[in-house]
């Protein structure tokens, strides 16, 4: 499709202004086609995208598949989309209905966002007004909250994991096997380290009454809270008989260690004793 398209693929974004109801993205039966810089945007009413042994990812801070109307995504073979961006996005986004259709029992479609550093909330896998998943094997992950470095002593809270799906209504039918997993929360940072107390003032013991006591060290700061795990799905869900559904919320993360307290200052001392 990229070779056949004129003036519709620029800077990693494929704008589907072609007057075609169905667009096919296809690898071969023996090898998955991998595309490392691709976002797809469509404004055509009832656009149908077909993925067959096709994998793509993007670094961009925008949805990898975006539609302003209803969209249908059919998948056959092994397919995956993943975000490399650390900004909060929804990997697949529509203002209308998104329908995912597996061609057969061996068809799989996986959606995997990256951990997010720019926001407390992570990236969502699929966001739409309504979602239908029918047939095939469908796996969607919410993004994990970023783990701060163990050497970070800023006292920041860890980022929250995100939900896999956000929609008013999600319907699962036609013997679909669906796994939706919320992202894990990110680890909080260590507390700010306490400061050392000031040293006491030196006294000579003759003209002054004696040395002064050193200052007290400051208390270390509290460690940051661990991020919350994301829920598998936000919104109502309906599952028809014959389908398999696994919903798993993300794990909450550990809070950061408390900061080390500062040491007390040295006491003053006498140089000359009368």
| Residue 185 pLDDT exceeds 60 | yes
Q: How far is CA 78 from the centre of its chain?
A: 23
What whole-number distance in Å separates Cα of residue 146 and Cα of residue 152?
A: 13
pLDDT for 270 equals 47
pLDDT in tens, 92-134: 999 999 999 999 999 999 999 998 887 778 899 999 999 999 9
Please tell me the predicted confidence (pLDDT) of residue 99.
97
pLDDT at 205 over 70: no
Please give the pLDDT value at position 30. 72
Of residues 57 and 35, more confidence is placed in: 57
Strand partners, 157: none
| Mean pLDDT for the chain overall | 85
CB 123 within 8 A of CB 90: yes
Task: Find out whether 212 and 104 touch, Cβ atoms under 8 Å.
Answer: no
What mean pLDDT comes out for the span 190-219?
67
**Token couple for 2:** 């990229």
- Count of alpha carbons within 13 angstroms of residue 169, beta-carbon side: 8
Residue 231: which region, alpha, beta or left (left: phi > 0; alpha: psi -120 to 50)? Answer: beta
pLDDT band at 222 (very low <50, low <70, confident <90, very high): confident
Bridge partners of 133? Answer: 100, 172
Question: For residues 225 and 145, what is the distance between their CA atoms, to the nearest angstrom?
Answer: 12
Other CB atoms within 10 A of residue 155 CB: 20
Q: Residue 91: which pLDDT band, with cuts at 50, 70 and 90? A: very high
Asked if the model's pLDDT at residue 273 lies above 60, the reply is no
The predicted pLDDT at position 214 comes to: 66
Query: What is the torsion angle, in degrees rounded to the nearest 10, for the CA atoms of residue 149, residue 153, residue 154 and residue 157?
Result: 60
Cα–Cα distance measured from residue 8 to residue 41, given in angstroms and rounded to the nearest whole number: 10
Q: Write down the pTM of the prediction.
A: 0.81
For residues 139 and 82, what is the distance between their CA atoms, to the nearest angstrom? 12
Instruction: For residue 150, give every residue at least 6 positions away whose Cβ sits within 8 Å of its Cβ, in sequence order, or none.
Output: 190
The CA distance from 128 to 65, in Å, is: 12
In this predicted model, which residue has the larger pLDDT, 15 or 210? Answer: 15
Is residue 2 pLDDT above 60, yes or no?
Answer: no
């Amino acid at each position: 499709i990229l070779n056949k398209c004129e003036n519709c693929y620029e800077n990693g974004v494929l704008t589907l202004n072609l007057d075609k109801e169905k667009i096919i993205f296809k690898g071969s039966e023996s090898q998955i086609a991998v595309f490392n810089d691709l976002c797809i945007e469509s404004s055509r009413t009832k656009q149908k995208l077909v993925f067959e042994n096709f994998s793509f990812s993007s670094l961009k801070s925008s949805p990898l598949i975006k539609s302003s109307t209803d969209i249908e995504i059919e998948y056959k073979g092994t397919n995956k989309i993943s975000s490399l961006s650390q900004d909060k996005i929804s990997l697949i986004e529509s203002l209308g209905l998104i329908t995912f259709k597996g061609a057969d029992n061996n068809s799989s479609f996986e959606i995997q966002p990256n951990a997010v550093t720019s926001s407390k909330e992570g990236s969502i896998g699929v966001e739409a007004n309504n979602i239908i998943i029918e047939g095939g094997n469908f796996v969607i992950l919410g993004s994990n909250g970023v783990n701060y470095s163990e050497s970070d002593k800023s006292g920041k809270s860890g980022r929250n994991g995100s939900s896999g799906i956000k929609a008013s209504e999600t319907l699962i039918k036609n013997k679909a096997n669906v796994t939706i997993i919320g992202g894990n929360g990110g680890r909080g940072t260590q507390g700010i380290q306490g400061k050392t107390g000031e040293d006491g003032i030196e006294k000579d013991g003759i003209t002054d009454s004696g040395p002064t006591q050193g200052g007290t060290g400051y208390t270390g700061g509290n460690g940051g809270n661990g991020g919350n795990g994301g829920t598998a799905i936000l919104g109502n869900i309906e599952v028809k008989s014959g389908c398999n559904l696994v919903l798993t919320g993300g794990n909450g993360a550990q809070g950061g260690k408390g900061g080390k307290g500062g040491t007390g200052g040295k006491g003053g001392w006498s140089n000359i004793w009368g």
